[in-house]
Chain A
Amino acid sequence: MSNALIACRSVTYAQRAVRLLERHGLRASMRRLPAELPASSDPQQHVGCGHAIRVRREELKQAMKLMSEAGFPSKFFFCEDENGGVFQCP
């Protein structure tokens, strides 16, 4: 099972995104992001202690589209291995 993680800059936005995706039939959950990963395009705000939404990798595109349509600013995503490790998607 391979998952993707969509970065969120606040826990509230992460919650909102999870509810949005679930309403559209996607499986989504929250997790913390490793501190070194960016949740924003602003390099001054590579923030530490960010939040992310975990979705199935095959549903990443649809999830990003739904979130974009709902006005979520997040454009950062990562891949997650089976052990919960996070890496840049190939």
Chain B
Amino acid sequence: MPLTYLDNAATTLHKPPEVLSAMRNALETCGGAGRGGHYAAQRAAEILYDCREAAASCFNMSGSERVILTCNATHALNMAIKGLAKSGKTVLISGYEHNAVVRPLRSLENISVKVIPLPTPLFDTEAVFKGFEEALSPDVCLVVCIHVSNVFGCILPVERIAELCRAKGIPMIVDASQSAGLLPINGDLYPYWCMPGHKSLYGPQGTGLLLIPPGGNIAPFMEGGTGGDSRNSQMPELLPDRLEAGTHNAPGAAGLTAGLRFAMRNTQPSPLTHQTALELSEIHGVRVYYNQCCHTGPVSFTVEGMDSERVASLLSDRGIAVRGGLHCAPLAHTTAGTETAGTVRAAFAHANTSRDAAILARAVREIAAGK
């Protein structure tokens, strides 16, 4: 049975061929970047530098040394959150955050970091903005906000919130896991941006980016060798070395560079998202969480009387890969009122066609009709 892959909000499965060839080339040619003066070490250093430059270009950054290579978005978020949250202070988060934000913050409760989620109605960007505006008290040391909900695809007004934070001198972190590659991102703006390489940037799993704003810096998340400054028992001050201990994932960086270049050429969100949202919403018993005003990426839906995991399982039986459940974002489901049954999430990527959208709509129609 052919696979109709619509779980691209988790990981884009079909990578451009240049991603694969770049990774293979790196595996065959790279040593440890910065760990020697020989060709293989220099080749690895070149590959890492190419990745930083591609990211800086993709995200409009003036300095590629502020591009930090991470293992994934969760790694980047942990680095930023634990580097910026302060003991005894408050962190504000939106009501749509992923566990990649909620769990690191919960772990800081033992140093008396207080976390305040700001639940707001789905697709109400003005309510999100006002929520942060009203809650930004002197006690707040950090704001964390997702750019696009990984469950509902709703776009949150992070640029406007960043202006509020900048005016008050409060650091801000944006979780750009779903937006990177789909929406414009300016890495020279105020926030720290965290993103995976393996979703809409079309890189491999095991890659991610943390974009440090101009003048920004955080304490190292982990310490170790950097290939330079070796007599110094502390981590170097200079970025990116300060935040990148240990041997790099050079093959991953090579793949991510190719993916970033692909994403820059193909940056617009899939038109199939809108088409699918409309088609599914016409099916009796199906509720679609969608508003064209402020949506990109994944479309969530429910089938009346059915658990989302059951629907996802029935779709899987028909060769359609989607994701049911809570999507590692119980806070988002609580905010939207879908925490009991969860939702089914479908997300399109560059390789999908209108045939894939039609296959999904037909299958959901059959499932909703009890066939």
B64 touches A16 (CB 8 A): yes
A9 touches B42 (CB 8 A): no
B204-248 with Cβ < 8 A to chain A: 226-232, 236, 238, 240-241
A45 touches B (CB below 8 Å):
yes
Contact of A49 among B42, B65, B228 (CB under 8 A): B228
A16–B65 CA distance with the chains assembled, in angstroms:
9
Q: With A45-B232, A47-B228, A49-B228 in contact, do A12 and B42 touch (Cβ < 8 Å)?
A: no
A49 touches B49 (CB 8 A): no
B147 touches A (CB below 8 Å):
no
A32 touches B (CB below 8 Å):
yes
A35 touches B230 (CB 8 A): yes
Contact of B238 among A10, A15, A46 (CB under 8 A): A10
Q: How many interface residues does chain A have, given as a range?
A: 20 to 34
Chain A hits for B226, CB < 8 A: 10
A46 touches B231 (CB 8 A): yes
Chain A hits for B83, CB < 8 A: none
Chain A hits for B33, CB < 8 A: 11
B228 touches A15 (CB 8 A): no
A31–B41 CA distance with the chains assembled, in angstroms:
10
CB distance from A5 to the nearest CB of B (A): 11
Chain A hits for B230, CB < 8 A: 35, 47-49
A15–B45 CA distance with the chains assembled, in angstroms:
7
A10–B238 CA distance with the chains assembled, in angstroms:
8
Chain B hits for A76, CB < 8 A: none
Question: SS class of chain A's interface: helix, strand, loop or mixed?
Answer: mixed
B241 touches A12 (CB 8 A): yes
Most B Cβ at <10 Å: residue of A11, A48, A49: A11
Chain A hits for B184, CB < 8 A: none
Contact of A47 among B53, B64, B232 (CB under 8 A): B232
Contact of A11 among B34, B231, B232 (CB under 8 A): B34
Q: With A9-B236, A10-B236, A30-B37 in contact, do A15 and B46 touch (Cβ < 8 Å)?
A: yes
The residue in chain A whose Cβ has the minimal distance to the Cβ of B42 is A30
Q: How many interface residues does chain B have, given as a range?
A: 20 to 34
A12 touches B236 (CB 8 A): no
Q: With A30-B42, A32-B37, A51-B34 in contact, do A12 and B231 touch (Cβ < 8 Å)?
A: no
Q: With A47-B231, A48-B231 in contact, do A11 and B45 touch (Cβ < 8 Å)?
A: yes
CB distance from A73 to the nearest CB of B (A): 9
Interface digits, A37-57 against B, CB 8 Å rule (1 contact, 0 not)?
001000011111111000000
A45–B228 CA distance with the chains assembled, in angstroms:
11
Most B Cβ at <10 Å: residue of A12, A13, A15, A50: A12
Most A Cβ at <10 Å: residue of B49, B65, B240: B49
B169 touches A (CB below 8 Å):
no
A35 touches B231 (CB 8 A): yes
Chain A hits for B231, CB < 8 A: 35, 46-48
Contact of A51 among B46, B65, B228 (CB under 8 A): B228
Chain B hits for A45, CB < 8 A: 229, 232
A11–B241 CA distance with the chains assembled, in angstroms:
9
B345 touches A (CB below 8 Å):
no
B42 touches A10 (CB 8 A): no
Q: With A16-B49, A30-B42 in contact, do A10 and B37 touch (Cβ < 8 Å)?
A: no
A49 touches B238 (CB 8 A): no
Which B residues contact A (CB, under 8 angstroms)?
33-34, 36-37, 42, 45-46, 48-49, 52-53, 64-65, 226-232, 236, 238, 240-241
8 more CB-based (< 8 A) A-B contacts, given A30-B45, A50-B229: A11-B33, A12-B49, A19-B49, A45-B229, A47-B229, A47-B232, A48-B230, A49-B228
